[in-house]
Structure 1
Amino acid sequence: MDHHALSGRPSSPTATPLHDLAAWLETITPVHTVGALAAEVTGISLSTQRIQSGDVYAALPGARAHGADFAGTALAAGAVAVLTDPAGAELLPAGTAAIVVDQPRHVLGKVAARIYGEPAQAMQMIGVTGTQGKTTTTRLLEDGLEAVGITGAVIGTVGTRVAGTDIKTSLTTPEAPDLHGLFALMRERGVSACAMEVSSHALVLGRVDGVVFDVATFLNLGRDHLDFHTDVDDYFAAKASLFTPGRARRGLTNLDDEFGRLLLERATIPMQTFSIRGPADWQAVDIELAGDGTSFTVLGPDGLRFPARVPVPGAFNVSNTLAAIASAAIAGLDAGLVATGIGQGPGVPGRLEQVDAGQDFVLVVDYAHKPDAVEAVIATLRPLTDGRVIVVLGAGGDRDPGKRPIMGAIAARLADVLIVTDDNPRTEDPAAIRAAVLAGTGDGSAEVVEVGDRRAAIIEAVRRAAPGDVVLVAGKGHETGQEIHGEVHPFDDRIVAREAVAGLAAR
């Protein structure tokens, strides 16, 4: 694969004369130019490390330093001009070509879209937002698109896939310049529909600026990111901003969620609804839950009716699947075919992913790392056994500490055995995080054990499992590393769980 694809960019980008770019930008905001705008632009980046020859370097003011302080590095790497604010313009090396605007971050998405030739307009864009289920919904959509014979792409937490090929990205929603570069790569690869997770951070920080989604889908809202948003209302307002004409053409919302119902009043675009509980534009009925997935019937507008299946257990995954099917239909695709594709697909990495190493109990790895998700996943697994549910759980460091005792309380109430361990402690003291989780477990009925080392905790859970029990290793799902004191060590719950079973068999 060429290095452009690895960098998430097209291999033959279009060239835009700098003076044309400045003249176009003048139609949006007052522009002041410095130096000779003679060059042609083929890309844009916020990071000096990602600059390629022909790029505009976007030098934005930061918390600690101004991006313009690093302009020399960007120019040496091949940048042909700098987009910055008046303060940044003062810091540039003499003779640097620059486009100066008052608030460069506010125009960054539109500038990136313009440089890459408005690539998002070349495909159906489906944006999915919500506290839980974004990854599952977008990955299921990808399976569904493939079945309809559509070249698809997906962007989100588990990474980015373009026409079936994985591409490395660092954030759930990449920064605007990287995002539009990715869209240009997708267009080059013949992608005609892209399903994308849209986080509240991405909306507030302008990462999806310059994109108007064909369909915006709202799943639910629970306690999350309260280290970033002041409160739940602020968090909801961020999500709701996606359902406005500047960001989306049509919307879909979940009537089973109180914020989903509230969104119907707030949204300023045409909306459809979905529900697995009652009347809606899109309904799931005749739901039959099983250990390896769920089958149900979809009722859609105009008397539409067809069978569907999700290859992952749990009622909440019926909701996610229904959202995927309805989103595809609103985007103009054949809903029945998409449903067939989802039913035949492989499921989602690290989401209720079963580890089968020949053991006589059910062993599941799941990404649940928030209160609602922990509750939903244990509730899903409970009917799969007459025996015990054994849960391995920790909480991440440097994230909303308020949810730690809540998660401990939920797991201690719903599990039979709870092993509290480390998740990604990041820069915090692991023992202090475990203590916060343990503090919530007092009223629960589960036997609670503390095993700090995550590998040892998984081994302990497997050692305790009797035939027919269910072991859930929660919190990290698809992740392949564990972050401790700022260093990421290789760690995959699925591999460690498999090794634990093998070690048990060897004894």
Structure 2
Amino acid sequence: MTGFRPDSTRPVALADLATALGAPNPGVDVLITGVTLDSRAVQPGDLYAALPGANVHGGRFIAGAAAAGAVAALTDAAGADLAHAADVQLPLLIVEDPRSRLGEAASLIYANRDPGLSLIGITGTNGKTTTAYLLDSALRALGQRTGLVGTVETRIGERRIKSVRTTPEASEVHGLIAAMREGGVDTCVMEVSSHALSLHRVDGLVYDVAVFTNLSQDHLDHHRTMDNYFLAKAALFTPQRARQGVICVDDAWGQRLAADAPIPVTTLSSTGQPADWRLDAGEGSEFTLTGPAGRLDLRSALPGDFNRVNTALAALTLLAAGHGIDAVREAVLADPHVPGRMEKVTANTPREPAPLAVVDYAHTPDAVAAALAALRPEAAPGGLIVVLGAGGDRDRSKREAMGAAAALGADQVFVTDDNPRSEDPATIRAAVLSGARAAGAESRIEEVPDRAEAIAAAVEAAYAAGPGSVIAVVGKGHESGQDIAGVIHPFDDRTELAAALDAAGGSA
């Protein structure tokens, strides 16, 4: 649950909703003022969406939803049977695939066909969160009131709550947009995951600008193939979902998307691929963008080639949204704080010379490789140290590749637990270790199951390596908990890394 809804809505007649969804009219005069698919979040006047789930059908909770004040339910034939079996006297809108109709229903209930604010949607395997924060920071510098929906948090102006998933369910997304409109938001920047697109979470929204960062292996437990994964992302770049696009064509997937997209697109390349805009790296974090509107001399607030690309995408998105080139040049220079993305960690009482220590959310092979490549110039010979694991109950096929990326990119690798969830942590570590050892690199590889102990061992190794050492703790980024066998234990890489640095200072 996001926790954000508008304070008031214009009621929608159930009969009008039935007509819009192509559902049989229940023949009951009912007014709808909200919608949710969580029976625990029902408010009086809600439409309860009783959807089929992986394990349990939402129809089993219709009685509870009715008791909480739901005045109607959207469901399928199976949900209707469950409601009738429980003798629930609630008007039902019965459609074949209720999940695919929820976005349309929520759009009508919250009057979002004309949302009254600009919408920017960002998709891609890596870089969504960083690009979203860069855009949010720049828009604020331009004097706008912003909304943000993404992996780290959901925010309306200065009101914020921690996010449960990258992109909320359709009922929550539309409630958020209505609350943003009510709160005077000018532009909402939203991370749009492949799950959100394939599971209809952003149906009923049309983005003013859609942004594509890149595509590499991830989420194949859900999409099964890279082609399916790409097609889920590509669905954002259609007239039903976006008016125009900004696409990085550094990888083959971006090139394919730019060639196939049926909406106008602006392309970016940092690798020499033909594109509307060319990124030329300068000294350090500085770079130049050259394209049809002129030249922008910019710099990235975060290290690495990929963060120059993220910054460039933010600038081109602002241009596509209608902001002038001079205003964009200044706005993009505002330094954002991006939680858990190349975030530097320092100790209260460091032992000098202290290593450079960062926490990053990198949890795919490409992201691990890119993070370590970004830090390599900062590290003395032999002094780049990485701590990583892999999550359980997720794409198992990327674990060996993550281990290989770590071994090829760092001088010392500490393989540890991430979020094992319901899986045996030792099995996950074994896969990561296998990939690391098979990479043929000369890096030193150690297994330290306890993540806090692995971080402490990395700090000890950094001091042993001498001045100029760099520690990268990757995988969890901004997360403040570790999921072990269904129990979330408090754990924040940033806190643990700072404590280990402090402990090293105290031991000195």
The answer for the alignment partner of 1:427 in structure 2 is 422
Superposition RMSD in Å: 1.7
Matched, 1:341 2:331: yes
Q: Measure how far apart 1:339 and its partner are.
A: 4.0
Out of 200, 208, 216, the position equivalent to 1:214 is 208
The answer for the alignment partner of 1:461 in structure 2 is 458
SS in 2 for 1:319: helix
Q: Measure how far apart 1:40 and its partner are.
A: 1.8
The answer for the alignment partner of 2:497 in structure 1 is 497
Contact 1:221–1:236, Cα closer than 8 Å, also in 2? yes
Match runs of 1:91-490 below 5 Å: 91-92=82-83, 93-118=87-112, 121-278=115-272, 280-289=275-284, 294-302=285-293, 304-357=294-347, 358-359=350-351, 360-387=354-381, 388-442=383-437, 443-465=440-462, 466-490=466-490
Identity %: 49
* Superimposed CA distance per residue, residues 155-209 of structure 1 (whole angstroms, 9 cap, x where no aligned partner): 1111212113312332111110010001011111111111111111111111110
5+ residue gaps in structure 2? none
Give the counterpart letter for 2:6 in structure 1: P
* Superimposed CA distance per residue, residues 101-129 of structure 1 (whole angstroms, 9 cap, x where no aligned partner): 22222211011010001166311111111
5+ residue gaps in structure 1? none
- Divergent runs of 4+, >3 A: none
Contact 1:298–1:322, Cα closer than 8 Å, also in 2? yes
SS in 2 for 1:209: coil
Contact 1:147–1:337, Cα closer than 8 Å, also in 2? no
Q: Distance in 2 between matches of 1:55 and 1:455?
A: 45
Contact 1:282–1:322, Cα closer than 8 Å, also in 2? no
Contact 1:119–1:180, Cα closer than 8 Å, also in 2? no
Q: Measure how far apart 1:482 and its partner are.
A: 0.7
Give the counterpart letter for 1:322 in structure 2: A
Contact 1:127–1:196, Cα closer than 8 Å, also in 2? yes
The answer for the alignment partner of 1:33 in structure 2 is 25
Q: Distance in 2 between matches of 1:299 and 1:52?
A: 52
Q: Distance in 2 between matches of 1:168 and 1:407?
A: 27
* Superimposed CA distance per residue, residues 24-63 of structure 1 (whole angstroms, 9 cap, x where no aligned partner): 33xxx2x213352x23211100110111111000112223
* Superimposed CA distance per residue, residues 55-100 of structure 1 (whole angstroms, 9 cap, x where no aligned partner): 0001122233322221110011111111122332233235312222
TM-score (norm 1): 0.94
The answer for the alignment partner of 1:85 in structure 2 is 76
Contact 1:144–1:337, Cα closer than 8 Å, also in 2? no
Q: Distance in 2 between matches of 1:105 and 1:320?
A: 33
Contact 2:368–2:405, Cα closer than 8 Å, also in 1? yes
* Superimposed CA distance per residue, residues 276-299 of structure 1 (whole angstroms, 9 cap, x where no aligned partner): 23353223224222xxxx122222
Q: Distance in 2 between matches of 1:126 and 1:499?
A: 38
SS in 1 for 2:457: helix
Contact 1:374–1:407, Cα closer than 8 Å, also in 2? yes
Contact 2:113–2:205, Cα closer than 8 Å, also in 1? no
Q: Measure how far apart 1:14 and its partner are.
A: 2.4
The answer for the alignment partner of 1:12 in structure 2 is 8
Distance 1:176 1:308, change over 3 A: same
SS in 2 for 1:34: coil
* Superimposed CA distance per residue, residues 345-395 of structure 1 (whole angstroms, 9 cap, x where no aligned partner): 233110111112245210111111110000000001000122410111111
Q: Distance in 2 between matches of 1:6 and 1:417?
A: 40
Contact 1:426–1:486, Cα closer than 8 Å, also in 2? yes
Q: Measure how far apart 1:324 and its partner are.
A: 1.0
Give the counterpart letter for 2:456 in structure 1: I
Give the counterpart letter for 1:81 in structure 2: A
Q: Distance in 1 between matches of 2:58 and 2:157?
A: 34
The answer for the alignment partner of 1:22 in structure 2 is 18
* Superimposed CA distance per residue, residues 396-415 of structure 1 (whole angstroms, 9 cap, x where no aligned partner): 11111111111111211221
Give the counterpart letter for 1:477 in structure 2: G
Contact 2:50–2:59, Cα closer than 8 Å, also in 1? yes
Q: Distance in 1 between matches of 2:114 and 2:375?
A: 39
Contact 1:142–1:195, Cα closer than 8 Å, also in 2? yes
Out of 32, 35, 43, the position equivalent to 1:44 is 35
Q: Measure how far apart 1:256 and its partner are.
A: 1.2
Matched, 1:55 2:64: no
Q: Measure how far apart 1:336 and its partner are.
A: 3.7
Contact 2:113–2:204, Cα closer than 8 Å, also in 1? no
SS in 2 for 1:249: coil
